[in-house]
């Protein structure tokens, strides 16, 4: 059996699980992104019976899957992966199993959200760079106390971010397509409509699940409604925001800046215009990256492969 472990950018997968326990298996670790086109990706993955995908870093659409006749098991870290065509996998008799993360890492994305918010308000990246250049106090940082935090999505992560904002003395409001006054009140948050959230918030943070209904929810109109002094933070999914419209808004200073951890294509291209802007704080999709999460991801991936070999697949995501 041949197993491909994809997108191991940090070169940690080999040491975080007992791959040797999968008897008579050849395990190949890929520490760089696969080529962009399906033909080249299929060539790189030819002959593998099992592929372990790290979240949504590598998409598996029907076109790529059709070029992988040997594939029988696709394991994804986490229990949701919008980058895998589940129907195409079923049609090709490919089992898709999830590999759960660690419960202690649930709040990691909320922590990163606040790292980005505070870095923006306190001008941390620029001041850190200026200190290394021998300078001292080059701008007056803003305070978050008394400012309005607008949450687009008030699920588990949104509520975690809300509690921190409240502790800082912020006015927290929320909106999502399904949010009710009662659910918002339970979280101690005021529900407002989408227009009010974007026009009145000093920082807008995205915490929705990406779906057909939520894709592009932050469009050019929403960005134009924001205050020129406001920030946008996205640690959820890139598809929630119109990338080109966001770049235009940042380049034209229609908003003060953005904190971003997710991108339409990952890794972010070296020549992407976002990398050249001085009013953004960029992190390389770190929201779910914790030691405990990676140990759980890879350990559960090995368990999923072993269960499938026994004819008892677990955490199946594409069951009929």
Using alpha carbons, list the distances in angstroms from residue 145 to 108, 118, 120, 167, 168. Answer: 23, 11, 14, 9, 6
Break the chain into its structural domains and give their ranges.
Answer: 2-102+290-309, 106-282
> One fold for both 2-102+290-309 and 106-282?
yes
Instruction: Give the helix ranges, DSSP H, for the chain.
Output: 38-45, 62-66, 86-91, 108-121, 124-132, 156-167, 181-186, 194-200, 220-225, 243-251, 291-309
Residues noted as catalytic: 237, 266, 285
Report the CATH fold assignment for 106-282: Rossmann fold (3.40.50)
CATH superfamily name and code, 2-102+290-309:
NAD(P)-binding Rossmann-like Domain (3.40.50.720)
Per-residue pLDDT of the chain (320 residues; tens, 9 = 90+): 999 999 999 999 999 999 999 999 999 999 999 998 999 999 999 999 999 999 999 999 999 999 999 999 999 999 999 999 999 999 999 999 999 999 989 899 999 999 999 999 999 999 999 999 999 999 999 999 999 999 999 999 999 999 999 999 999 999 999 999 999 999 999 999 999 999 999 999 999 999 999 999 999 999 999 999 999 999 999 999 999 999 999 999 999 999 999 999 999 999 999 999 999 999 999 999 999 999 999 999 999 999 999 999 999 999 97
CA distance 130 to 124: 10
The predicted model scores a pTM of 0.95
Query: Could you tell me if 10 and 34 are in contact, meaning their C-beta atoms sit under 8 angstroms apart?
Result: no
CB atoms within 10 A of CB 165: 26
């Amino acid at each position: 059996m041949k197993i491909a472990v994809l997108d191991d950018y940090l070169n940690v997968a080999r040491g975080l699980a007992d791959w040797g326990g999968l008897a008579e298996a050849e395990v190949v670790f890929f520490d760089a992104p696969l080529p962009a086109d399906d033909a080249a990706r299929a060539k790189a993955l030819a002959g593998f019976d099992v592929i372990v995908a790290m979240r949504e870093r590598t998409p598996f659409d029907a076109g790529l899957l059709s070029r992988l006749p040997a594939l029988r098991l696709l394991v994804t870290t986490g229990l949701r992966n919008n980058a895998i065509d589940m129907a195409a996998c079923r049609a090709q008799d490919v089992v898709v199993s999830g590999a759960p993360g660690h419960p202690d890492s649930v709040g990691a994305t909320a922590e990163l959200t606040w790292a980005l918010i505070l870095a923006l308000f306190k001008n941390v990246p620029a001041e850190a760079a200026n200190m290394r250049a021998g300078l001292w106090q080059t701008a007056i940082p803003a305070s978050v106390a008394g400012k309005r935090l607008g949450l687009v999505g008030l699920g588990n992560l949104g509520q975690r971010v809300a509690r921190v904002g409240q502790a800082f003395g912020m006015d927290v409001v929320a909106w999502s397509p399904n949010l009710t006054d009662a659910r918002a009140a339970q979280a101690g948050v005021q529900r407002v409509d989408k227009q009010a959230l974007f026009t009145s918030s000093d920082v807008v943070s995205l915490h929705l699940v990406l779906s057909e209904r939520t894709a592009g929810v932050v469009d050019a109109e929403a960005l134009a409604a924001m205050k020129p002094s406001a920030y946008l933070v996205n640690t959820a999914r890139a598809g929630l925001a119109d990338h080109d419209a966001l770049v235009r808004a940042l380049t034209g200073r229609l908003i003060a800046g953005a904190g971003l951890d997710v991108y339409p294509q990952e890794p972010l291209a070296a020549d992407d215009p976002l990398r050249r802007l001085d009013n953004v704080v960029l992190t390389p999709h770190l929201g779910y990256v914790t030691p405990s999460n990676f140990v759980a991801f890879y350990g559960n991936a090995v368990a999923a492969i072993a269960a499938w070999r026994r004819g008892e697949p677990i955490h199946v995501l594409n069951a009929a």
